[in-house]
Amino acid sequence: MKVLTNEINDLLKRQDIKQKELAIDTEIPETTLSGYIKQGIPFEKALKIMDASGDSLFTSQLAYKFLGFIKSMDGKLANTTAAELDIFQKIESDERKEHKKRAERLIVENKIRELDLEELNEIEAYGMEFLDEIIVEIAIVYKIFGAVNLDIREAVETKMPEWISKNYMKEG
C-alpha cells in the first residue's frame, strides 16, 4: 500500500469534488476511502480512483508511486543502436513539429472560445506526436543508462530532489 494523501487531496481540489462524491464514484465506502487517504491505499483501489476520475495528473502520480515512474522499454525499439534511435527521434520530432504551430494557436484560442471537434482533434494529434517523440527519447535514456548499469528508477529518485527544487514536481 502507498500513501497518496497529497495526490488524492489535490485530485479532489482539481476536480472540485468532495471526498463523499469520490467514494460514490469509486464504490468505495467513504470511511474506508478516508482511511486509505490517511494511511495508504491498495493498488487496485487507487486504480478505481484513477478510472473514476479520468485525471491524467493523478494517473501519472499513481504510475510513479506504484510502478516506478516509467514502464520498462521492452519493445523492438530497445534493440536498436544509439545511432538508429537518434534517427527515430528526428523522425518523431519532425512529425510533432508539423502539428506544433496550429496546436499551440488552438490551445491559446481555447482559453477564449470553445473549439470544435476537428480543432480538439488537432491538439490531441499534437500531443500524440509528442508522446511518440518522448518514448523514443526514453529509449535513448534507457540505452545511456544501460551503458553505465544504472536503473531508470534509481535515476529518477536521484533527480527528484532537483526537479522538486525547480518546481517541475511537487513534493510528496
Q: Read off the C-alpha cell for 15.
A: 476536480
Cell of residue 34, nine digits: 478516508
Q: Are 156 and 70 in contact (CB under 8 A)?
A: yes
Distance of alpha carbon 7 from alpha carbon 12, whole angstroms: 9
pLDDT at 54: 82
Going along the chain from its start, the domains and CATH numbers come out as 5-67 (1.10.260), 76-165 (no CATH)
pLDDT tens-place string over residues 6-40: 889 999 998 999 999 999 999 999 999 999 988 98
pLDDT in tens, 93-137: 999 999 999 999 999 999 999 999 999 999 999 999 998 998 898
